[in-house]
Structure 1
């Protein structure tokens, strides 16, 4: 049996990314070279790693079984490349929800790279539900999420507190008073995050607890789009206080006080089997979790 690192890497990348074309791009190979490497690996092993349905690749049971061992081999080889270093090096895939990715992650990663310059970060920005899915599919080492979550296979660790803020345009009828009562909420036009996001989950839970229903005129997956829509007078919004602090300070948006319970906990998500790796442990220490 003759196996190569190239073959193992293209198999692992295809399993993680779900597409051979994406794996080929990541490994800097042509699609034909990646396909050939995968075929050679299957030939050497004597069994199929993927079943093919047109262009779609579905991992076989044998592929699922061998994948953890292939990852162990690749991790061992990677550790041999820097025997005298701290051991904290190599590709580091982080999946983060939008607020964290925009307002917290840059300074965190700057600090992390200052300590461990051999780390190669790869940030994937998703909503909370999608971050969980990436961890399930082993497409990220660590997840950073904003919404409530539980999972029987993943470890979800409390990290830090945050709070949502309801806001409006300075010319909105509610702006001068700066207060939004529960009774006024159903009459408002709301511009909110999309279902599946942590921000939306916290808002929906608060509205449900208050016993009211609201009219969502737009559900958007980008904070900037929500802020610009509110600035255009299309309605009122609700986002993390982290994302609107600067606009509130400049007077471009106005904070609306409310009795809704809009506090939330940001969390770190890891797979138990990789939570003990030096790379992940170093990152968790930086986050103080």
Structure 2
């Protein structure tokens, strides 16, 4: 219910009747003289105690998955389900292909979002690992670095800069920009570089999607920014580098520290570390 948001949806997800769910929850609350859910008409929300218990149950389910993973690892089957979070498909595609070749019986799923979404899903046990554009200061994480990614500008093919390969950051003064939402690490790094150069731009639109940023730029709403390895060919867009401000992100693969040795997570992290080492040599 904490995840689904209502008794009805929880019953549907579990394949049982709603009265059964209601009875079990009430019995648990009555036995201990506590309240796990605050009821507001047809809506429910977790109490502080309920949120604490939810965090504990997430860990219990995580440990159950690790136990199953350890048993299958010992049997040499390498089966299981690895949930991955990423801020863009280009970040994770090569990893998925390499991991799939090595462990073909492991099911993989990917959830896309901004860096705050990816971090939140790891901390809430929704994803096993996540690709973050920068090393996180979150103390509960174990991280493995890999590669680097440069921030570039996106302009329309008829923009006055379209024939340039690079431009000074100071030329961005007063220009109209289409940016990602506030939780975007790409936007944060770009704005940091602008502040250091004492350059002010005119943000005209904030969008929570890379594709939407590209389309907004292509339709003339302003200049955009993107990670260089995510700049797919677009017939109405050109990319150019910022000549005097190398704005480079150093992505990391992250997991919870106390889950780093779970078989499938460890296998994924080991593969990332090997790939990063090969790329550096």
TM-score normalised to structure 1 length: 0.78
Does residue 283 of the first structure (1) align with residue 246 of the second (2)?
no
CA distance in 1, matches of 2:128, 2:34: 23
CA RMSD of aligned residues (A): 3.3
Task: Answer yes or no: is 1:56 the counterpart of 2:45.
Answer: yes
C-alpha contact 1:134 1:140 (8 A) present in aligned 2 = yes
Deviation string for 1:143-175 (max 9, x for gaps)? Answer: 111145311222233222111111211211222
Corresponding position of 1:8: none
* In 1: Cα distance, 2:135 partner to 2:192 partner: 10
Shift of 1:201: 1.4
Report what 2:67 is aligned to. 76
- Runs of 5+ in structure 2 lacking a partner? 275-281
Say whether residues 1:186 and 2:173 are aligned partners.
Answer: yes
Q: Count the aligned residue pairs.
A: 267
Change (3 A) 1:148 1:198: farther
Q: Distance in 2 between matches of 1:208 and 1:171?
A: 28
Structure 2 CA distance for aligned equivalents of residues 134 and 285 of structure 1: 21
**Contact 1:170/1:251, CA 8 A, preserved across alignment:** yes
1:122 and 1:153 map into 2 onto residues whose CA distance is 23
1:160 match: 147
Partner of 2:196: 209
Are 1:174 and 2:161 matched, yes or no? yes
Which residue in the other structure is 1:196 paired with?
Answer: 183
Corresponding residue SS for 2:146: strand
- The 1:48–1:187 alpha-carbon spacing in structure 2 relative to 1, beyond 3 Å, is same
Which residue number corresponds to residue 138 of structure 2?
151
- Equivalent in the alignment of 1:96: 86
- After TM superposition, give the deviation of residue 222 of structure 1 in Å: 1.1
SS where residue 123 of structure 1 aligns?
strand
Contact 2:70–2:262 (Cα < 8 Å) also in 1: no
Q: How far apart are 1:218 and its partner, in Å?
A: 0.9
Counterparts of 1:1-289 in structure 2, within 5 Å, are: 17=3, 19=5, 29=15, 32=18, 35=21, 39=25, 42=28, 47=32, 51-54=36-39, 55-58=44-47, 59=50, 61=52, 64-65=55-56, 68-77=59-68, 79-80=70-71, 84-86=75-77, 88-97=78-87, 99=88, 102-147=89-134, 149-247=136-234, 252-288=237-273
Shift of 1:137: 1.6
Distance in 2 between residues matched to 1:79 and 1:19, nearest whole Å: 32
Displacement of 1:256: 4.9
Following the alignment from structure 2 to structure 1, what is the Cα–Cα distance between the partners of residues 98 and 20? Answer: 36
CA distance in 1 between counterparts of 2:120 and 2:239 reads: 35
Do the aligned partners of 1:191 and 1:236 also contact (CA within 8 Å) in 2? yes
- 2:23 & 2:180 partners in 1: Cα distance? 42
Deviation digits for residues 253-283 of structure 1 (CA, Å, limit 9, x no counterpart): 2425432221110111110111111100111
- Whether contact under 8 Å (1:220, 1:226) holds in the other structure is yes
- How far apart in 1 are the matches of 2:110 and 2:35? 27
Q: What is the CA–CA distance in structure 1 between the aligned matches of 2:34 and 2:90, rounded to whole Å?
A: 40
5+ unaligned residues in a row in structure 1: which ranges?
A: 1-13
